[in-house]
């Protein structure tokens, strides 16, 4: 699930940067020609295409449809569960919409980091002592040369 969240986060970041780039170049409109369609843009709104439109999971940057559906569900919950601020008074929809992909990115990034923290397993240091004998006998004699080896392991 970590990889799926990371891919969704990457997709959102792409669109946030794409909007920012178009604004910096003072474009009045944005062309999505040739880009994977993972959002539907409305005046003061954002949505997702129908789930059935996930027939091409590569457009969502996933290996198969099952992963694409999980990514779609993550993004759908993000859009439905959280409110985003839409700037008012913008003359062009690009300027009005540009902050929303950035807000989506920051919210998804914080959720992703929280999930990583929850899924992290604490590392417990452990020392394993081994006695290695240099004789071939099953029962080494009392004067057999032996070495004490200390291995430091990390146990999860």
Parse the chain into domains and list their residue ranges.
Answer: 2-119, 124-155
Quick: pLDDT tens for 40-81: 888 778 888 887 766 665 566 777 888 888 888 999 999 989
pLDDT confidence tier of residue 128, bands split at 50, 70 and 90: very low
- Six token digits for residue 48: 């997702």
Cα distance between residue 16 and residue 13, in whole Å: 5
Quick: pLDDT tens for 86-112: 888 777 777 788 888 999 999 999 988
Return the ∠ at Cα 114 (arms to 113 and 120), rounded to 5°: 85
pLDDT reported for residue 136: 52
pLDDT reported for residue 13: 92
Contacts of 17-22 with C-beta under 8 Å, sequence gap 24+, read 18/101, 19/94, 19/97, 19/98, 19/101, 19/102, 20/98, 20/102, 22/94
């Amino acid at each position: 699930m970590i990889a799926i969240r990371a891919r969704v986060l990457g997709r959102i970041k792409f669109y946030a940067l794409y909007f920012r780039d178009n604004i910096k170049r003072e474009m009045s409109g944005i062309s999505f020609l040739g880009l994977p369609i993972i959002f539907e843009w409305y005046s003061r709104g954002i949505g997702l295409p129908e789930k059935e439109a996930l027939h091409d999971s590569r457009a969502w940057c996933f290996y198969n449809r099952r992963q694409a559906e999980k990514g779609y569900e993550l993004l759908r919950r993000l859009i439905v569960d959280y409110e985003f601020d839409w700037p008012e008074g913008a003359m062009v929809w690009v300027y009005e919409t540009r902050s929303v992909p950035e807000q989506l990115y920051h919210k998804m990034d914080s959720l992703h980091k929280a999930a990583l923290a929850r899924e992290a397993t604490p590392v417990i240091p452990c020392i394993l002592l081994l006695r290695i004998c240099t004789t071939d006998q099953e029962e080494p004699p009392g004067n057999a040369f032996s070495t004490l080896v200390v291995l430091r392991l990390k146990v999860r």
